[in-house]
Amino acid sequence: MHRNVVRMVEAGRAIGLDVIPKEFNESTRTADEAAAAIGVDLGQIVKSLVFTVDGRTVLALVSGDRRLDEGKLAVAAGGSVAARPDAETVRAATGYPVGGVPPFGHATDLAVFVDDGLLRYTEVWAAAGTPHANFPCDPARLVEATGGLVRDITRSPGGGHR
């Protein structure tokens, strides 16, 4: 098992989650790739999106079939402007590469905001530290374990592709 996956499993254990990762030959870097490799609905994929809000790095956990609304994220985080950082900033903040960022176990303490759409499911799949490893989890348990704030942080159906 890759060292990033081991580190993420240990981080899960530290917050009370028994993480059982599954490694795939196919890429799971994007939500579409992950859903196809795992064999689940696109909405069951947890996109771990790192953003800066007024210069503070935050994490948004978004259902794979939805698109983040940066304005809503900024408001949820108590700021005014959300921006996507570069891959180097993501790795520095989380300790993981883009496409493999798990919802917890990061190098820095990040505020976590959870798309309320993830709660439609009884099981979701999140990245486990690499672009080829994921793990299943009950979304309510994921919210609890990450200390995430559940919010409407995605675009409305009439406001563009979700």
- CATH number of domain containing 143: 3.90.960.10
Mean pLDDT of 125-137: 96
Q: Read off the pLDDT band of 157 (50, 70, 90).
A: low
- Chain centroid, CA 134 distance in Å: 11
Average pLDDT score, the chain:
93
Strands 45-53 and 149-151: unpaired
Q: Is the pLDDT of residue 6 over 60?
A: yes
Q: What is the pLDDT of residue 161?
A: 39
pLDDT greater than 80 at residue 137: yes
- pLDDT surpassing 70 at residue 160: no
**Is 152 a residue whose pLDDT tops 80?**
yes
Q: Considering its fold, how many domains does the chain have in total?
A: 1
Residue 103's pLDDT is: 96
Contacts 24+ apart (CB under 8 A), 27-33: 27/99, 27/131, 27/132, 28/99, 28/127, 28/131, 28/132, 28/133, 28/134, 29/98, 29/99, 29/100, 29/131, 30/99, 31/64, 31/65, 32/64
pTM: 0.93
- Per-residue pLDDT tens digits for 78-123: 999 999 999 999 999 999 998 899 999 999 999 999 999 999 999 9
Give the domain extent around 130. Answer: 3-159
Position with higher pLDDT, 1 vs 126: 126
pLDDT higher than 70, residue 53: yes
> Mean pLDDT over residues 127-137, rounded?
95
